[in-house]
Chain A
Amino acid sequence: MTDPLLAVSGLTKRYSRSGKIIAAVDDVSFHIEPGETLALAGPSGSGKSTIARLVLRLIEADTGRIEFEGSDFLSLNGAALRGRRARLQMVFQDPLAALNPRATVARVLDDPLRIHHIASGPERPRRIAALLERVGLSSGLAGRAIHEISGGQRQRVAIARAIATKPSLVVLDEAVSALDVSVRAQILQLLLDLQREERIAYLFISHDLGVVRAIAHRVTILEAGRIAESGDARSVIDAPQSVIGKALVAAAPRLSRIERDVS
């Protein structure tokens, strides 16, 4: 076993709401190995999205450590932090909200290539076309505006943007929750293919245990900002030990409950 790609320890984030201090994330520790998918699951308000934003330094933690690729990620600032972001990317739930509504597909993909000096100006259109094809889109889509393409296409563009800088870890914050089910299956398959071929690790945030069970190696179940239980995704979901784990499993809709007799 190598060093973990991401090691989070004692992560805490508190908010004060109408005078009361509430811990959105309370002493959370976990790690992710290279090329592995760790799922964070839990009901709304369990702190899973806050953890995603803390790991990405979109908000700052009160206490705790985040080690990413062997160095202290929380000590970085300014240009050093922006440079490091190439290795740690994110895909949001709603691609229409997460991409500039005025942008074209080409511009969305051009930004990371330009910012991280991955390709020179004249070379970038070719790289953009390659990225689009990498996520299963036609390179002819480059000139289209973000609001003109379908929801599934948008999420593929968002994934292309995330992998443009060759990251080692991508945070997927409910990245398939808003998609149509038939589109969702294709996007999940794309994510698995990318992981296998490029050894990308995923921090997969979802409230849907069915999806978690389908694509995660390990799962951490959260409740009210704390870790309720962790372990191998299938073992935990097939036999949850914690109260919240049992409740989540019981609440998931299941087709197999439908009686088999066809009348």
Chain B
Amino acid sequence: MTALASIRNLTVTYRRDGAEVAALKNVGFDITAGERFAIIGESGSGKSTLALAIAGLLPATARIEGRIDWLLRPPPMFDAKAPPSVLPDISPSEGEIGSSAAGSFPPASVIGEGRDESAISPLEGEMSGRTEGGATGRQPASLRDHAPIGGRDIGFIFQDPSASLDPVMPIGKQIAEVAYTHLGLSWRDAYAKAKTLLERVRLPDPDAALCAFPHQLSGGQKQRVAIAAAIAAGPKLLIADEATSALDTIVQAEIVGLIRRLVAEDGMTLLFISHDIALAAELAERIAVFRHGELLELGSTAQIVNAPRHAYTRVLLDAHLGLDAEPLLRT
């Protein structure tokens, strides 16, 4: 088993009204290539900050310490618009660039210091689902040339597909743009690829959908489109940040099933961020439990669910109201 990413001593601090708020405190763990890894926590746990840090999408106002080392296979031999040689010339002012070479794989290294103009404040709000879809933009994390491998090597699915899709661009173009930018396809091929992707995410009538606008689709269909855009460039890592929290139970189950199938078919690594321990347990092989910016416990799903070591994990498990739980109402 090789590590896809290894996160060491990661601390992320936001400045707010003069005060420093640590969103992540000295976090370290490895993500294994090809695994389905879940990060769970409640609001303020830092789970979304971690997702953004891994994707290199943190706002410029965030202070980042520690390192994230990547071990990626060589990029596909397409004439990509952003060749790897130009990627590392972003020099973070804070935080070090880590790089590690192993075997024959050329190293690609990154630490997120995203130059994002829009202010994101993942600490805001106490609700477990974040209301804004990450705010990092209308393009699904893909066309940001400043994020060294975002979009091509990392696909990102936000909570709110309405916020991550451009409302005035046909969805076919939004997906084709990712393929055009990162895979160096012609527009014609990129559109063909977009159509295949819409078929893969099981959108009804993909031909018509290519020309449709986001507002013509339901919430679940929009999330399917966002997923199609996220995987358009064939990323190694797919990050789903509360990707099903805004959906109802039935659509949530469909989207989770879709993510599971796509990850298996393409051999992607999945980072699934959720507040719902039961949902995470059904999808992931390993679970990391976060609270107040700290990693409390990391283990296999079976171990976390059946033999949690940390009391807080126990609390989360007990708070889950499954269809098999003891009813609170005594009659």
Contact = CB atoms under 8 A, between A and B. Distances in A.
Contacts of B321: 184-185, 188, 208, 210-211, 213-214
A205 to B, nearest CB: 12
A248 B331 CA distance: 24
B303 A263 contact: yes
B128 A181 contact: yes
A192 B125 contact: no
Given A151-B126, A181-B320, A258 B302 contact: yes
Which residue, B126, B253, B307, has most C-beta atoms of chain A within 10 A?
B126
A259 B307 CA distance: 12
A255 B125 contact: no
Count class of interface residues, chain B: 35 or more
B219 interface: yes
Interface in B251-295: 251-254, 275-279, 281-282
A51 interface: no
A96 interface: yes
A106 B27 CA distance: 40
A180 B331 contact: no
A99 to B, nearest CB: 13
Interface in A207-244: 207-211, 213-217, 234, 237-238
A125 interface: no
A214 B42 contact: no
A206 to B, nearest CB: 10
B102 interface: no
A3 to B, nearest CB: 21
B125 A151 contact: yes
Contact of A192 (B42, B279, B329): B329
A260 B306 contact: yes
Given A181-B316, A215-B329, A254 B282 contact: yes
B250 interface: yes
Contacts of B279: 253
Contact of A255 (B320, B327, B329): B320
B323 A249 contact: yes
A122 to B, nearest CB: 34
Given A37-B329, A179-B128, A192-B329, A262 B43 contact: no
| Contact-residue size bin, chain A (C-beta under 8 Å from the other chain) | 35 or more
B322 A254 contact: yes
B253 A263 contact: no
A185 B277 CA distance: 14
Nearest to A260: B306
B79 interface: no
A150 B329 contact: no
A178 B127 contact: yes
A194 B236 CA distance: 51
B249 interface: yes
B324 interface: yes
A68 B115 CA distance: 57
Contact of B324 (A250, A254, A259, A262): A254
A182 B249 contact: no
A44 B223 CA distance: 15
A214 B43 contact: no
Contacts of A102: none
A59 to B, nearest CB: 21
Interface string A16-45: 000000000000000000000100000111
B44 to A, nearest CB: 9
A215 B281 CA distance: 24
B1 interface: no
B114 interface: no
Contacts of B275: 180-181
Contacts of B331: 217
Given A180-B42, A257-B282, 13 more contacts: A37-B329, A180-B126, A180-B127, A181-B277, A181-B316, A184-B321, A208-B321, A213-B323, A213-B325, A215-B327, A249-B323, A255-B278, A263-B303
Interface of A: 37, 43-45, 94, 96, 150-152, 154, 178-185, 188-189, 192, 207-211, 213-217, 234, 237-238, 247-263
